[in-house]
Structure 1
């Protein structure tokens, strides 16, 4: 893990941090516009293989665009880069950034596996570049509110907690008019389905609350005929706090998602804490107003606001802002590569238990039986 302060700081307080965005699809544009709204950060270039995405970046005020991220990294003098590419490209993009001496803020999942994440972090460490990961759920106002209330100790010990996170299905909301991107449905490109898309955000937020987690059991399901799961349920245990947690994440073909797609509830011995109690008082009015603003923007060909004071997207803004501040100060990012690797290791353990149909207790019992089995002595005749 990189120490703080970082020995590779290349900045002075008087200059703006020059940032490139690698991949300007949906989430890449969120990061691009977030960065453009920040003091002391200048987005100087963006890269994307899709011409329409490059045009969007140019309309948003990006001075230069490239059709290849490696060309961007070789052509621009950057301080940092946002890696918002499909997971299959994360390792290679970080390798190219390492060659250029550029710190990276990587969209989750950090990689497709723990082993690939380890290679990525070794490359970054050898080059002396910082790695931040976009695990934004802990920045979401309602989840942050739960963490603050739990830290106050008002509900005492929390023996049990539940968490649910939902999203649009892989085909998008009905009626389906355009084909979805192919890579999220390709396990070789994405690394997995809902467990990697949604679950690792939850793993990060839960470990932020309760400390290191153990996966006790897991089940996955593909409700549609796709090669990746669109639903996963995981039973977790936090040894440090003695908390058992049930987590469910799913990507469903609903016409309308719930207004709040994440639910977190802590059952304390003297009361409960729910993220529902930490929603802004004007949440629904603000959400409706923002939706109308974005619809109007699309009608007028203007770009919708993606970095502003909206409930969900401010978390991405704050995560990237913290990363940029860490880079500017020569410190380790608050959510670093080791955090990103840890969530992948939890997901891999869940996949392993789901595939075998076992839980951790069964596996441990089997290990004990193996250890207790005595070897028969050889008998010579």
Structure 2
């Protein structure tokens, strides 16, 4: 069966890439693309002057204050959409008008309804949509999957995953007001479940196949418009695995601590992601994190991007997408995958609205 996507393999020269949004994660994607062979970052767009200046210091020749203007003016193969969630749909629609494939920061959209419109637009235009679900690219998660698939712990009746990050307000003392959109439920579609939970849903389905949400609860530790904690009970029918998921944006992140804990309880043993961290992880990650922070704010912006543990996963995800585009293949983490994670989050929201935490019965697991 022929792919619906056109191959770029016969095109001469490097794939031309534009980065839409050069905030925190946009900078990661920008520097990842700049470090890739046979990729040319020809332009970047951001409404914030300081972010455009950052892109220029990194070596981007042309910057725009409007992503639509960039898409209209540049001849692109790929657009990286690193804009706030409320702009994802419009950006994909504009890219589709110009026949540009898109790599979209998670969550793909604010709802499955919005995602369906985006994917229909992409299908009609014949463009590919990829999503930046990076947990499956982290070496500790790859190690868990490999150990699980080799059957060393046998059947896995129970698993658990926890992902915690800094909240949208950041850690005190605050030296500047946070952006308003992460605190606006209309702009982001939700809180921790869409910011962090979708990553967990994606990696769990990567491990166990399609999931069913059985129960959920959400909570607020801060007086903000979106939830900053959520706990979800899931079932994987294909493997007969029960999974508990907890995500929250209430804990101050201490880099280079790994902010995701995954544990598989097999009948002959246990697999955890901590067992599969790279050798000398903490020493090397701390050093690389400092180097990356320095490169973002100083004259070293023109140096080659040196990914840390987390940034390497973003690099690999984008590189995988670029490779698929070059060969006319469906992205390894497609728009359908992003839509599936959204559907699980929506089901969790629905159940949380009608279920209290005390009504959730979790399976007993002995240590």
The alignment's TM-score, normalised by the length of structure 2, stands at: 0.93
Residue 225 (structure 2) pairs with residue 249 (structure 1):
no
Q: Secondary structure at the match of 1:341?
A: helix
Q: 1:4–1:330: 8 Å Cα contact kept in structure 2?
A: no
Q: Secondary structure at the match of 2:224?
A: coil
Match of 1:220 among 218, 221, 241: 218
Inter-partner Cα distance in structure 1 for 2:257 and 2:326: 36
The 1:177–1:309 alpha-carbon spacing in structure 2 relative to 1, beyond 3 Å, is closer
Match of 1:336 among 324, 334, 337: 334
The CA deviation string for residues 183-229 of structure 1, in whole angstroms up to 9 with x for no partner, is 11101100000100000000000000000000000000011110100
Q: Secondary structure at the match of 2:42?
A: strand
The CA deviation string for residues 11-41 of structure 1, in whole angstroms up to 9 with x for no partner, is 5254210000001101011001101111111
Q: 1:97–1:104: 8 Å Cα contact kept in structure 2?
A: yes
Inter-partner Cα distance in structure 2 for 1:277 and 1:325: 30
Aligned residue in 2 for 1:354: 352
Inter-partner Cα distance in structure 2 for 1:327 and 1:348: 30
Matched pairs, number: 359
Aligned residue in 2 for 1:376: none
Unaligned runs of 5+ in 1: 363-381
The 1:306–1:110 alpha-carbon spacing in structure 2 relative to 1, beyond 3 Å, is farther
Give the drift of 1:6: 3.1
Aligned residue in 2 for 1:110: 108
Q: 2:292–2:306: 8 Å Cα contact kept in structure 1?
A: no
Match of 1:271 among 255, 269, 279: 269
The CA deviation string for residues 313-361 of structure 1, in whole angstroms up to 9 with x for no partner, is 10000000000010000111001010000000000000000011179x9
Match of 2:118 among 115, 120, 123: 120
The CA deviation string for residues 90-113 of structure 1, in whole angstroms up to 9 with x for no partner, is 110011000000000000000000
Q: 1:167–1:261: 8 Å Cα contact kept in structure 2?
A: yes
Q: Secondary structure at the match of 2:149?
A: helix
Aligned residue in 2 for 1:211: 209
Q: 2:92–2:118: 8 Å Cα contact kept in structure 1?
A: yes
Superposition pairs of residues 150-229 of structure 1, within 5 angstroms: 150-229=148-227
Match of 1:53 among 51, 54, 70: 51
Q: Considering only aligned residues, what root-mean-square deviation do their CA atoms show, in Å?
A: 2.0
Aligned residue in 2 for 1:303: 301
Inter-partner Cα distance in structure 1 for 2:216 and 2:303: 38
Aligned residue in 2 for 1:365: none
Residue 13 (structure 2) pairs with residue 15 (structure 1):
yes
Q: 2:157–2:241: 8 Å Cα contact kept in structure 1?
A: yes
Q: 1:172–1:253: 8 Å Cα contact kept in structure 2?
A: no
Q: 2:148–2:271: 8 Å Cα contact kept in structure 1?
A: yes
Inter-partner Cα distance in structure 2 for 1:51 and 1:95: 25
Give the drift of 1:173: 1.6
Q: 1:5–1:332: 8 Å Cα contact kept in structure 2?
A: yes
Bigger mean CA deviation after superposition, 235-244 or 257-266 = 257-266
Inter-partner Cα distance in structure 2 for 1:304 and 1:263: 35
Unaligned runs of 5+ in 2: 361-367
Match of 1:136 among 130, 134, 137: 134
Aligned residue in 1 for 2:285: 287
Give the drift of 1:276: 0.4
Q: Secondary structure at the match of 1:252?
A: coil
Q: Secondary structure at the match of 2:29?
A: helix
The CA deviation string for residues 280-306 of structure 1, in whole angstroms up to 9 with x for no partner, is 121111122123324554674433979
Aligned residue in 1 for 2:32: 34
Q: Secondary structure at the match of 1:244?
A: strand
Q: Secondary structure at the match of 2:249?
A: strand
Q: 2:47–2:66: 8 Å Cα contact kept in structure 1?
A: yes
Q: 1:168–1:257: 8 Å Cα contact kept in structure 2?
A: no
